Structure 1
């Protein structure tokens, strides 16, 4: 049951009473999306932060030449959005697309703020999740600055082996910042 998955996810960090979880749940909406659906499109509003119950998302940035760069993947138990657009109210600079049929919980900024005000321990939970996201982003940047493409591939394979069964090689190559041909040489 999706609600159970969300509760277990939150309770890895903070305990919740049934009443507290009901309050949390009242601030979220639940959506099902098909493979290839866009949850956020570049140039539009980023209305939600998404918690992935099941499925797989890709966060993509397009450069001036039309080349797509995968900023992140988000699978079960992960949170994703164009956070800059979500928190600032600016138009999205990235797109968030389903790579598989996907089930998500969504929260708007107003509900996010209201929930944090009503239940301070959720604010702590979200701070922990945010800090973990910052750490992961810094590690990814350091990996690009200090590691070879082969080392980045090996790190990704070690951390997220299931991703390699779920994502086409061309998307793995984009995430690693290499061509499809280079990726083929790395794995052969």
Structure 2
């Protein structure tokens, strides 16, 4: 009887051990899956890394090694949005600066009379946000939404400052991009002050190649500050 009891005990022990192992393995597998999902932006093979649009833009200003670019990517979050999705509402805090990998976004504001004013479009390789709200961490006075399904690399102010501190090259890059942004804004203001509608239209064609085929003419008219009838005349002359 004693031998049978021992045999039965050993059988239960082996059965319990056999059943315990899959639970540990299962937990380990899920833990690793979660980790891989969390770090999916950070893992890029060498060929993809060299052709990455963000790296291409950065290296117009500074040069990065593969290891340095991998480190840069680690500060970004990959975010995808659907067409018509609002990513920043007027009155909300601007948590991210968006680098557009694929798609099309815009920055706009609706005045008290309900009229929409478009300040900026964000095509591939553009950065887009409410700059004042982002850098001052205040509530946005603008709206940012998607005109197409859009894939972005999104950067928080905390990570931008951290990256600039850790990598002087990136501080140089961000400073240069900010300076270029100020220059572009100044040109846009001067264009409105001193140029006619035809000049503004040609400036838009130069700044946003292919945009006319991607958005309704009403949006183009809003950006240019002209009526749709005026825009129609401009496009007819161009054709």
- When normalised by structure 1's length, the TM-score is 0.95
Partner of 2:86: 38
Secondary structure, counterpart of 2:180 in structure 1 = helix
Partner of 1:125: 173
Answer 1 or 2: which has greater strand percent: 1
In the alignment, structure 1 residue 59 sits paired with structure 2 residue 107: yes
TM-aligned CA deviation for residue 10 of structure 1? 1.1
In the alignment, structure 1 residue 141 sits paired with structure 2 residue 209: no
Secondary structure, counterpart of 2:94 in structure 1 = coil
Q: Rg bigger for which structure?
A: 2
**Structure 1 unaligned regions, length at least 5:** none
The structure, 1 or 2, with the larger RCO (C-alpha pairs under 8 Å, 6+ apart) is 1
In the alignment, structure 1 residue 75 sits paired with structure 2 residue 119: no
What CA distance in whole angstroms lies between the structure 2 residues aligned with 1:146 and 1:134? 18
Partner of 2:204: 156
TM-aligned CA deviation for residue 12 of structure 1? 1.6
Partner of 1:169: 217
Tell me: CA distance 1:163–1:125, structure 2 relative to 1, closer, same or farther (3 Å).
Answer: same
Answer 1 or 2: which has greater helix percent: 2
Spell out structure 1 runs of 4+ moving beyond 4 A.
Answer: none
Secondary structure, counterpart of 2:92 in structure 1 = coil
What CA distance in whole angstroms lies between the structure 1 residues aligned with 2:124 and 2:227? 27
Aligned partner (choices 159, 164, 168) of residue 111 of structure 1:
159
